[in-house]
Amino acid sequence: MTQMHTADVDFEPLASSPEQPRWRNAAQWARNALREKGLVRDDSPHGVWAISDKGRAWLDRQSKGQLATPTAPDSNT
């Protein structure tokens, strides 16, 4: 598993949303990007990042050394 690296600034609140720390905002944007690429399901419960079939296929290719990065929601990579 990848180790999480954070800095003090990651725990500071956003100017536009003082109740939300920066790390949470970054995580939400990361999930949104994965969802747009079809790598995580968009129908999973709140707080759950369920890998889609496309995401599983992408991970399988990664484990075999085929390091293609999906670039668009309708991309087959």
Task: Give pLDDT, residue 20.
Answer: 94
pLDDT digits (tens, 9 = 90+) for 23-38: 999 999 999 999 999 9
**Could you report the per-residue pLDDT of 7-62, keeping only the tens digit for each?**
999 999 999 999 999 999 999 999 999 999 999 999 999 889 999 999 999 999 99
Q: Coil, strand, or helix at residue 21?
A: strand
Q: What is the structure's pLDDT at 77?
A: 45
Task: Sketch the domain layout of the chain as residue ranges.
Answer: 17-63
pTM of the model: 0.71
Give the span between the Cα atoms of 3 and 5, in whole angstroms: 6
